[in-house]
Structure 1
């Protein structure tokens, strides 16, 4: 089969190359996962939890290598480290609530009846992970899936091929059986064939809307449950009572961190007219303080985008917006590392509106448009004028106001005075074209288990 090449955004070289499994080899791998699952589920919950936590600990021990590999694979500056803070926090939380969440819920236990609800593992869980936060997004499903008694097959993105290998290495070293957690390299055709053959009990996919459509088509008629986290165009709304400096710092970081390649990154900002001019001035200064460059340079705060074709999408959106009347406020000359390829200068646009793709289609890059609004109603209407619904960030000093606005926003998560963050105690979910299903929180365990009812009567 044709090898899959990982082209590094750092220098355009082939950083890794792997040959995908043949169809027969992939079927055999899934068969091994299925055969190993029952014995894994039969182990005590405490043992599964301990092994999963040990696997994450082993992963932490590889941090120096992993940080360097991530820079080569998808361009994140090494100064920001890996993804271990979130990996550890999410693992610890899910491990901590496992016993309570997975315990049977007794309805009646009398001399005549015993009735209760239990949670049962789905079997083989298939994780199709993205490249932007490959460890974090995998952990979101991997940890609860293994703890709940499933076996897991992981397919890493072709842009971050080494991630799955590192995770498998860590978990196997910790004692998780090799067939219980497998990393595989698959092409699209084999992936779709496996899903269509009902090979999995659950499929979790993080990626584009088009990728989600392909997953649904592959699963059509199999009744395989799918978890889909797809596109986003997350808004921020700065009210008149907002803390201006805090809003600028958090929202611009949410727009630019990881070169804008964050699932819940801020892609559009609406500012009350009383704060608009000051917000824009401070936002431009914030962005101009960034340094675009080689991710191995300690001074670099903005690395290359993961692939030059991703950067081309952003360049196209920005050029179209400027041609339609948008005003760019960042001079690309301030970012001489912009090479027309993967290295892309950040941009802040004003005089934008929703006729422009940069305000309605996912950019997934270091660009943000800022619009002036006169009141909450206008901001809510603009925030909802999107095919996506992952997160929304509201800036105000009043909890009740934020809750009232949040109740009117079509989104999965409402933030007040923060952005671009996952709380493991809260469900990570979305609506509209952002997808369906949820991970993290106690509901994350529900995604990888099914309810089973027990109704016993003594005669």
Structure 2
């Protein structure tokens, strides 16, 4: 019996939110096998970094194109694994946009920094790869979040080991297959299936030179504990509770459409999804009325059906947390505006919800929900809105709505956040650094700063022979 139990414990299983069945399963690597993966990555890194930059760029972009060629298979696969409706067509547009931008800026972002040259000295700073980069990717946007690090890490000359979330078990496997078919050597980009103990042991053993983790605050703390004393660099994108603030001169219809979509799209399972909205009191009633009408137009259902606009949450336990937050808020006096939809099964299929009469005493306005619920509060001034937006342990993005750019900049300067949006939300621009503050984490991806985080500076102070 113990041997059977051990065998079961060594399998990772993706449970489909569509019907609760096992959609895919893979055996985890033993510690010895995982150490061998890391060793192969380390052995392959110098030769990969020695290739011309343009060659690395071309191989990475060929891998990206190979993923695009699989899109017709990927879209229904994602629906089965994490519940996103097939009508939205997958992630290749953003996947390609991010990789393409990082490819375009690579030469300038990785160029030597000239400090000075004269008859006696030549001085400059190079950007050199860390070595082996470990990418731990989340399930909610599994291709786009992974490529944020995979593409620039490989382009910069690192080798990459990718560990994907169990909920999207097949994504890393597909990415590795596509990149290998495009010509990226197998040891340069490897996908692994690991349990938590093996992951921690690899990190603690110094198997990697840089780690990029996207996930929960608890997961980020586990990464830091495992890396303690190794001096391994960490990039962490953790929780969020992103606010929207609608000022009195905002385009009301645009604000409703964008903020509510930002709260509900992907069943609310977005890193930078809108989880709380503050509306100037003069627009509050109209904003709520229009928001309720919009959400009532949604079609909850099987993500394989073309008419479905909002699918199940990725896992029953995620939906249970959202239901708990909503129930607690209602007990404390909040008002729910959306009647339970017929397709709500009390499990993964969850009615999207709008709440008013909320306060920051309620978990739904403090804790990360990561589901299709948003609380809306009236405010009387910028001062009140700023105080409420900053009353959070998280800081990823904030969405401001006004016709006054100067006012938005002044408000944005006072918000504790990684990104300030004006008249838009829930979008990752690869030209800008994707970063957060407070318990959202540290570091930054994409943009030129993404390259700086995936490399280290190396200074050259060369004295010439002048005899």
**TM-score normalised per structure 2:** 0.97
Deviates more, 1:101-110 or 1:341-350: 101-110
- After TM superposition, give the deviation of residue 257 of structure 1 in Å: 0.1
Task: Report the secondary structure of 2:302's partner residue.
Answer: coil
Partner of 2:103: 95
Aligned mates of 2:378, 2:404 — CA distance in 1: 21
Match runs of 1:276-287 below 5 Å: 276-287=284-295
Secondary structure at the aligned position of 1:212 is classed as helix
Paired with 2:137 and 2:111, the residues of 1 have a C-alpha distance of 29
Q: What stretches of structure 2 of length at least 5 have no aligned partner? A: 1-6
The equivalent residue for 1:154 is: 162
Aligned to 1:428: 434
Aligned-pair distance for 1:315? 0.1
Residue 437 (str. 1) matches residue 443 (str. 2) = yes
Instruction: Classify the secondary structure of the residue corresponding to 1:361.
Output: coil
Distance 2:134 2:412 in 1: 33
> Residue in 2 aligned with 1:369?
375
Where does 1:225-264 land on structure 2 (aligned, <5 Å)?
Answer: 225-264=233-272
| d(CA) in 2 for partners of 1:412, 1:103 | 26
Report the CA distance between 1:110 and its aligned residue. Answer: 2.2
Q: Matches of 2:236 and 2:380 in 1, distance apart?
A: 35
How much has 1:291 moved relative to structure 2? 0.4
SS at structure 2 position matched to 1:85: helix
Question: Structure 1 residue aligned with 2:365, among 331, 346, 359?
Answer: 359
Taking the aligned partners of 2:12 and 2:99, their CA distance within structure 1 comes to 31
Q: Distance in 2 between matches of 1:96 and 1:159?
A: 32
The alpha carbon displacement at 1:157 in A equals: 0.3
SS at match of 1:256: helix
**1:32 lines up with 2:40 in the alignment:** yes
Counting only pairs closer than 5 Å after superposition, residues 131-150 of structure 1 correspond to structure 2 as 131-150=139-158
Looking at structure 2, the residues matched to 105 and 270 of structure 1 have their Cα atoms a distance apart, in angstroms, of 44
Aligned counterpart for 1:338 among listed residues 340, 344, 357 = 344
Give, in whole Å, the separation in 1 of the partners of 2:297 and 2:275. Answer: 19
Cα deviation 1:398-418 (Å, max 9, x = unaligned) = 111110000000000000000
Q: Distance in 2 between matches of 1:329 and 1:90?
A: 37
Q: CA deviation at 1:109?
A: 2.1
Alignment-derived partner of residue 411 in structure 1: 417
- 2:278 and 2:240 map into 1 onto residues whose CA distance is 16
The CA deviation at 1:147 is: 0.2
- CA offsets per residue over residues 251-284 of structure 1, 9 Å max, x none? 0000000000000000000000000000000000
SS of the residue 1:186 aligns to: coil
Where 1:111 maps in the other structure, the secondary structure is coil
User: 1:115 maps to what in 2?
Assistant: 123
Counterpart among 87, 101, 107 of residue 79 in structure 1: 87
| Cα distance in 1 for residues equivalent to 2:221 and 2:117 | 45
Counterparts of 2:406 and 2:69, CA distance in 1: 44
Count of residue pairs the alignment pairs up: 457
Find the aligned partners of 1:309 and 1:88 in 2 and give their Cα distance: 32
* C-alpha displacement of 1:305: 0.2
Q: CA deviation at 1:445?
A: 0.3
Question: Does 2:184 correspond to 1:209?
Answer: no
The alpha-carbon deviation at position 103 of structure 1 amounts to 1.0
d(CA) in 2 for partners of 1:104 and 1:446? 12
1:15 aligns with 2:23: yes
Partner Cα separation in structure 2 for residue 451 and residue 354 of structure 1: 43
Residue 349 of structure 1: how far off its partner (Å)? 0.2
Residues 82-131 of structure 1, C-alpha deviation per residue, up to 9 Å, x if partnerless? Answer: 11111111111100010011111111122211000000000000000000
Match for 1:313 among 321, 331, 336?
Answer: 321
| Alpha-carbon separation, structure 1, partners of 2:116 and 2:415 | 40
Over 2 Å off, 4+ runs: none
SS in 2 for 1:337: coil
What SS is found at the alignment partner of 2:169?
Answer: helix
State the SS of the aligned residue for 2:403.
coil
Distance 2:280 2:444 in 1: 32
Distance 2:464 2:188 in 1: 39
Q: Distance in 1 between matches of 2:64 and 2:403?
A: 38
What TM-score, normalized to structure 1? 0.99
Corresponding residue for 1:64?
72
Residue by residue over 1:178-208, the C-alpha shift from the partner in whole angstroms, topping out at 9 and shown as x without a partner, is 0000000000000000000011010000000
Question: 1: distance between equivalents of 2:90 and 2:236?
Answer: 24
Q: Which ranges of structure 1 fall in alignment gaps of 5 or more residues?
A: none
Residue 456 of structure 1 pairs with residue 462 of structure 2: yes
Q: Any idea what SS the aligned residue of 1:444 has?
A: helix
CA distance in 2, matches of 1:11, 1:178: 35
Tell me, in whole angstroms, the C-alpha distance in 2 between the residues paired with 1:110 and 1:50. Answer: 36
